[in-house]
Chain A
C-alpha cells in the first residue's frame, strides 16, 4: 500500500499525525477510563476458582495478563512466541480440568493458530477462553496487527462463543460470564486504559443478549465492541441535529440474540445501520443481514465497517476517519442516507 503523495496548496496543510505505540490506549482525550479491566477481572475470578490459569504467547504485558501473573505467578504459563503451541497446550490443560485463559493478539489467534483453535479446542469441546487484544482497527501498525476478519473466522467455527465487548465496564462482566459458561469462548479484548462508557447506561452484560442502550425512531445503530461507544456518541451528535437515533448493543456475535434483533430491526419506519470494527465481510453486519433475510424482516438497511482492503498504517484517528468508523464519519453517513 503506497502512501498518498502530499499535494502542495496555498492553504495550511492539515497536521500529519504519527502512529501511536502498540501499547497506546484507544481512549479519546479526556475520556473516562479504567486500567486493565481484563487483568483485574481475571484476578478476581481466580481468587475463588482455582481451576483458572493464564497462558500467553509472549504477549502477557500487551494483553493485561501480567496483572494476573503478578497475582498468581505459579498459575501463569508463558509459552513463548508460539501461538499454535499456546492453543494446543490450552486444550491439554483444559482436558486436565483447568480453565485456561489464553491470550495473544487477535491477528495471531485467528490466522496463525486457527487450525489449533478449530481442532484442539472447538472440536474437542475444551473449556478454553481465548482473549485477544488489538481487535479490528485498533492499531496503526499495519495489516499484520489489524485483525479485520477475526470475528468472521471465529463465527465460522462450530461450538465457539464469540464476544466483542464495548468498554471497561463490560469487560469486567464478560470475564466472569466466560468462566460461568462451559465451552470454548473467543473474546476481543481492550487493554491498558480502557474507555468507560456503559456504566452511565445502567448496562449489564448477559451472554447471548443484545441490549437497547437508547431508543430512537428514525435510525437504529446495531453495534458491537468499540463501535457501540462511537454509535452512542454519534447518536448524541445527531440528536443535536434533531435526528432520533437508537443504539442496540450486540456484544455476543455468536450466538446472536436473534429475538431481540428481529424485534428491534422489525420496527417499521427506521433505518437500521450496523456498525462494526471489522471487515464488512462475514462480521456482525452480514450476520444481521442474513438473519433478517432468512426471517423475512426487511428494514431499510445499511452497513458501516472496514472495507475489504488491506488497511493502511498510520495514526488511528486518521485511519478511523479514512475508513468511516470515526464518530464524525458515522454522523456524516447517516445524514447522507436520510436525505
Chain B
C-alpha cells in the first residue's frame, strides 16, 4: 500500500517538507537547514511517488526501506516522516530537545521510520548492501533507498559498498547522493575531488543518472528509471542541488556546511516560503 497520491501535488509535498524543516530549525535555533531545503524535492519524490510503506506501521515487512546515511540530515528526514504520517506532527516541536524521539542526528534505536544511525557518516551504503542481500534472500521485492551526501564519497567504505553492490548485482538498491558541493571544511570539489562522478560510478558497474536535484520532474523520472531501467544493476541518482533551495535569502547566503540563521530569520524564511506556496 503506497501513501495515496490523493490530490496533493508533489510540489506541495516538497513545499510542506521545507516548511516542517524550517519550523524545526526555529525550534532548535539552529540546524542543517540549508541541506534540508536542498533535499526536499528528493525526499518528496521518495516518500510520495516512489516508495511503498504503511505510515501507521513503520516496520511493515513489505515496505521499501529508506536509509539516511547522512545522519545530520535528520531534520530533513523528520520533515518527510511527519508529512508522511510516520512521525506524529505534534512531535515536531520536540526536535532536538532532551528526551525527544527526534534528536539532531538520526538514530535507529528510537525514531519511527529511522532505519540506521547515520551520525558517523559513510555507513549507509554498507548497511544497504546487507539489507539488499537479505531482501533477495527472502525473495522480497522491496527496495532499499539510501540517501548520502557528496562528502561521504571521501570515505573508503562507501567505495567498498559501491564495489560490492555491483559485484552482487543488487538491482534492489537505489542510492541518491546529494551533490550540493559543500562539506565541513569547504566546497567538496576542493576537499577531495570526486568528479567526474557519473563516469566513475558507471565504471564501477552501476546504473547512473545525474539530475538537477531540485527539478521535481527530472527527479521523479530518475526514480522511475532507477526501478525500471537499471539493467540488473544497482542504481545511483546523482542529485545536483542548491543549498537553501526554496528560500531565496538562504540560497544566496555564503555557502556553509552549517548555515548561519539568526533568531528572527526563521520567520522570514517561512514568509519567503509561504510566498511560493504551490497549489
The residues of A with any CB-CB pair to B shorter than 8 Å are 53, 77, 79-80, 82, 84-85, 87-98, 100, 115-116, 119-120, 123-125
Contact = CB atoms under 8 A, between A and B. Distances in A.
Contacts of A93: 130-131, 133-134, 137
Contact of B130 (A80, A84, A95, A119): A95
B161 A124 contact: no
A199 B137 CA distance: 38
B109 A116 contact: no
Interface in B151-199: 156-157, 160-161, 163-164, 167
B117 A124 contact: yes
B119 to A, nearest CB: 8
B243 interface: no
Interface string B201-224: 000000000000000000000000
Contacts of B167: 80
Nearest to A82: B160
Contacts of B107: 123
B117 A89 contact: no
Given A80-B164, A95-B127, A120 B117 contact: yes
B127 A120 contact: yes
Nearest to A77: B133
B49 to A, nearest CB: 24
Given A85-B157, A96-B138, A116-B157, A91 B127 contact: yes
Contacts of B157: 82, 84-85, 88, 116
A125 B167 CA distance: 28
Given A89-B129, A89-B164, A84 B134 contact: no
Nearest to A79: B164
Nearest to B122: A84
Given A89-B126, A89-B127, A92-B127, A119 B120 contact: yes
Contacts of A116: 123, 126, 157
A92 B129 contact: yes
Nearest to A118: B120
A114 to B, nearest CB: 11
Contact of B116 (A53, A100, A120): A120
Q: Which 8 A-B pairs have the closest CB atoms?
A: A92-B130, A88-B126, A96-B134, A89-B130, A85-B160, A82-B160, A84-B157, A92-B131
Nearest to B168: A77
B115 interface: yes
Interface in B108-152: 108-109, 115-117, 119-120, 123, 125-135, 137-138
23 contacts: A53-B137, A80-B164, A82-B160, A82-B163, A85-B161, A87-B126, A88-B125, A88-B161, A91-B126, A92-B127, A92-B130, A93-B131, A95-B130, A96-B131, A96-B135, A96-B137, A96-B138, A119-B117, A120-B117, A123-B108, A123-B117, A124-B109, A125-B109
Interface in B223-269: none
A97 B134 CA distance: 8
Nearest to B126: A88
A324 to B, nearest CB: 38
A91 B109 contact: no
Nearest to A90: B130
A123 B127 CA distance: 14
Contact of A88 (B115, B129, B138): B129
A256 to B, nearest CB: 25
B183 to A, nearest CB: 18
B134 A98 contact: yes
Contacts of A53: 137
B102 to A, nearest CB: 17
A89 B133 contact: yes
A103 B212 CA distance: 42
B123 A80 contact: no
Count chain B CB atoms within 10 A of each CB in A82, A89, A124 and give the residue with the most: A89
Nearest to B71: A119
Contacts of A91: 116, 126-127, 130
Contacts of A125: 109
Contacts of B133: 77, 89, 92-93
B146 to A, nearest CB: 10
Given A79-B164, A116-B126, 14 more contacts: A77-B133, A80-B163, A80-B164, A80-B167, A84-B160, A85-B126, A88-B123, A88-B157, A89-B126, A92-B134, A93-B131, A120-B116, A120-B117, A124-B117
B128 A92 contact: yes
Nearest to B134: A96
Contacts of B115: 95
Nearest to B132: A92
Contacts of A120: 116-117, 123, 126-127
Interface string B81-118: 00000000000000000000000000111000001110
A245 B212 CA distance: 74
A25 B192 CA distance: 45
A95 B134 contact: yes
Contacts of A89: 126-127, 129-130, 133, 161, 164
